[in-house]
Chains A and B, each alone.
Chain A
Amino acid sequence: MPSDQTIAVDVRDAVKRYGDFTALKTISLSIRDNEFFTLLGPSGCGKTTLLRMIAGFEDVTEGEIFLFGEEIENLPPHKRSVNTVFQNYALFPHMTVLENVSFGLEMLGNSKTEAQKRAGEVLEMVQLSQFSKRKPSQLSGGQQQRVALARALAPKPKVLLLDEPLSALDLKLRKAMQVELKHLQRETGITFIFVTHDQEEALTMSDRVAVMSAGELQQMGDARDIYERPRNVFVADFIGETNLLDVTVADVSDGRAVCQLPSGDSVSSDAVDGVNAGAKVHLSLRPERLYLSERPLEADHIKATVRETIFIGTDTSTVLDLPGGSEFTVRASNSSRGNKRVFDPGTEVIVNLEQGAGRLLID
């Protein structure tokens, strides 16, 4: 993260309503200059609406949006120095690749030759120079994606908005593009606001992530923060895989909370503000922070019965039943250094919690 903390986009109490339906409920967030910022959430959470409000395609029902200190929420899209990479690229089909990329530059008042020269440079940056005379329909999906990227980057916007740009690509290409996007962001120094529903993509690429659900901001922070310290059940469940257990807090002391499971076992975790003895809360346990053994190896452990073992390439996943009736997953790396233990279905085993594996959540 840059030491320079200039705010690129500042969204203040933005609300979006369509008639009776509220798509965004009072969102405030500040996106820093030179940051790779991701809006993450399931479809319909309002992330694309927020992006389109910044771009100017949707008007803001209430609140303000600032772009480097300038209030922009009432400006039409063509007066905002942000550019968008659209989900299905929206390349102009009747123009060549070069014409597509130089379009924005021409609109900004550059002469045609000047615009095409600069467009050629940007095409070189995304390694598409040899395709500049083709029409978009003559390119593959991945190439079209890069043209869309070049077109949006060519006018040197203050902020680049990316609306699920990788969702139409296959897995391999998507992974490659993730790396390329990250490089481009570093190279150009332009602030990227990236919208996705893919949590892995968000964690891989972003400096910071804002998790959204049902028109509300759930949590904002860097990848590790959001993964390891989810603030609520939604975030814990949406980001990565997790085991959520309903527990009762038996005791809180010295910053530790002792939690009673329905099965009768009790485990401890870091205490959370506002959670006192007797509270009914959720305990989130990441599958990779747990390991199985015949006898207890950690102070915090749970008894369970193996239901099945699933081989998933890099890892082995073991599904277990807890005495209270809930299902539970433990993940172990298949490397020889990992805690690889395979048990037969029906075996009674001990689930050991690594230090700090449990996280208490209030709904």
Chain B
Amino acid sequence: MAGGAASGGLPRSDTYAGSRNWLLLPTWVTLGLLTVAPLTIMLIYSFLTKEFRGGVIWEPTFAAYDQFFFDRGLFGDDPPTIEWTYIAIFWRSIWQAGAATLLSLAIGFPTAYFIATRPANQRMLWVFLVTIPYWVNLLIRTVSMRFLLRDNGPLNDFLIGIGLITEPLGIMNTNFAVQVGLFYSYLPFMVLPIYAAVERYNFALSEAAADLYATRWVILRRVVIPAVKPGIIAGCILVFVPSLGSFLAPDLLGGAKNFMIGSLIEEQFKGNAGNWPFGAAASMILLTMVLIILIASARSSKEAAS
């Protein structure tokens, strides 16, 4: 019998398996305490009834999700219609985060390519330079951006000074200001994975393509980009996901009109005016969206790799 034959070796392998489980303990504790537990709490809270001064009453309900998706009139007894307010905020967030991601890609890809094509001993210096601004707190960087972009700030002064414009551009409190803020917040997350991919790229492939009559642009499009696609996808996720949930840049640069998901969720947990179950439900919806994006991109980078 197979079990009998194997039993001779069992005590030893048991010991190994045992110690391996113990060594994995920190991982399980970290995952459990910092990921699974908080998410479970959020999930449960999103199905509870709100307490008016913050907090929850332990009575299960779908009220939070219902509030998110349906409008039942002022007293809650009209036939339900779709509630567009929050969907619009989500849609704007996706749009803003997407625009910030494209901006980061447009600047980040050439930067990463530039760094990866420097002599090997200079590359770390360039990477270091890219990360320097990120030693400063995100809040301070975002506030500084206000000073840079405002109507009588350095950017407008400079553009008026060189005669390119006569009136300040009025960038502050626009979608564009939010995109610039998000772009600046997360640019290194775009540069670093693409840099890692381009550094591994075999430049003989570019030579081979040039040898086969491809122009620079065709080489970039048909050889370089497909080869570094996993890095590009990773960079886009690392910029898009935090941008989507961000509230600093929209709050400080976008003004009240340009509310995003992050701000909406933040409001629900602030002071006495909040609605914890609704905040939790909005978070769960955000999380679901992010998961869908991650799974889709994992699929497409698997395709790129094979």
Contact = CB atoms under 8 A, between A and B. Distances in A.
A78 B208 CA distance: 10
Contacts of B212: 78, 83, 103-104, 107, 151-152, 155
A86 B204 contact: yes
Nearest to A109: B213
Contact of A78 (B202, B210, B222, B227): B210
A92 B211 contact: no
A78 B205 contact: no
Nearest to B223: A92
Contacts of B143: none
Interface in B158-212: 202, 204-205, 207-212
Nearest to B211: A84
Nearest to B204: A90
B210 A88 contact: no
A122 to B, nearest CB: 13
A133 B138 CA distance: 50
A300 B219 CA distance: 64
Contacts of B227: 92-94
Nearest to B212: A104
Given A94-B227, A135-B306, A86 B213 contact: no
A340 to B, nearest CB: 49
A107 B213 contact: yes
Interface string B214-225: 110010001100
A110 to B, nearest CB: 11
B214 A103 contact: yes
A84 B206 CA distance: 12
A76 interface: yes
A285 interface: no
Contacts of A155: 212-213
Given A107-B218, A135-B306, A90 B213 contact: no
Interface residues of B, number: 20
The number of chain A residues touching the other chain, given as a range, is: 20 to 34
A171 interface: no
Contacts of A86: 204, 207-208
B205 A107 contact: no
A108 B222 CA distance: 15
Interface in A80-100: 82-84, 86, 88, 90-94
Interface in B82-103: none
B226 interface: yes
B225 to A, nearest CB: 10
Nearest to B303: A94
A108 B223 contact: no
Contacts of A84: 207-208, 211
Contacts of A76: 210
Contacts of A57: 207, 210-211
Contacts of A93: 205, 227
B304 A94 contact: yes
Interface in A232-247: none
A55 interface: yes
Given A92-B223, A93-B227, A77 B215 contact: no
B306 A78 contact: no
A20 to B, nearest CB: 17
Contacts of B306: 135
A92 B205 contact: yes
Contact of B202 (A55, A82, A90): A90
B215 to A, nearest CB: 6
Contacts of A83: 211-212
A78 B215 contact: yes
B302 to A, nearest CB: 13
Interface of B: 202, 204-205, 207-215, 218, 222-223, 226-227, 229, 304, 306
11 contacts: A76-B210, A78-B211, A78-B212, A84-B211, A86-B204, A86-B207, A90-B207, A103-B222, A104-B211, A135-B306, A155-B212
Given A78-B213, A90-B204, A93-B205, 13 more contacts: A55-B211, A57-B210, A77-B207, A78-B211, A79-B213, A86-B208, A90-B205, A92-B209, A92-B223, A92-B227, A94-B227, A107-B214, A108-B213
Interface of A: 55-57, 76-79, 82-84, 86, 88, 90-94, 103-104, 107-108, 135, 151-152, 155
